[in-house]
Amino acid sequence: MRKLKLQVQMTVDGFMAGPNGEMDWLTFAWDDQLKDYVTALTTPVDCIVLGRKLAQGFIPHWAAHPEAEGAATMNGTPKVVFTHTLTHSEWPGTALAQGELVAEINQLKQQPGGDIIAYGGATFVSALIRHGLIDEYHLFVNPVAIGRGLPIFGELSGTQPLTLVRAQAFACGIVVQHYEPKRG
């Protein structure tokens, strides 16, 4: 079965964005070691899943910057956008998932292929976490606290135990924490 990986930028106090979606706190000065981490993470991926809100900025951004580092991967990898409002995809290589989240993700996981990676806003990511759909968490913890905002784990109804696989600090100050859920 395919694995669903989550790659998400967050603050040390657990927020994906400020209260109004602000992301001015992100660290962009990534060193080669962090870029290599992302390459290793995304190389086995052949499907990107996104929430609609993020997709509407994410997909056009990468399409408009084909020369940017990582753009070939972002543009060339098939995408599935989860939405209840869009009726057709306006983006090449992108399908829409309009059904129930758990069923749609489980169907993707059952298909042959490589890993799946999730990017998304707080609502989409929190729903994936709440339903226990993430197989690997790759939390890119930026060296900043913002006090309040959109939490990554805001929709949990109880404790979700995780096992630390690896933690690695990078020169830019980002610490990547790789976790897997404790199952059973």
Give me the domain span that covers residue 50: 13-165+172-181
Q: Is residue 53 part of a domain?
A: yes
Task: Answer whether residue 16 shows pLDDT above 70.
Answer: yes
Is residue 6, in this structure, part of any structural domain at all? no
Q: What is the model's pTM?
A: 0.93
Q: With 70 as the cut, is the pLDDT of residue 184 above it?
A: no
Sort 88 into a burial class: Cβ within 10 Å, 0-12 / 13-18 / 19+.
Answer: exposed
Asked if residue 69 is part of any domain, the answer here is yes
Q: What is the pLDDT of residues 133-146, one digit of tens each?
A: 999 999 999 999 99
Identify whether 37 is part of a domain.
yes
Q: Residue 4: inside a domain, yes or no?
A: no
- Give the CATH number for residue 20: 3.40.430.10
Has residue 136 been placed in a domain?
yes
> How confident is the model at residue 63, as a pLDDT?
83
Residue 175, token pair as written in the block: 């610490």
How many domains, the chain? 1
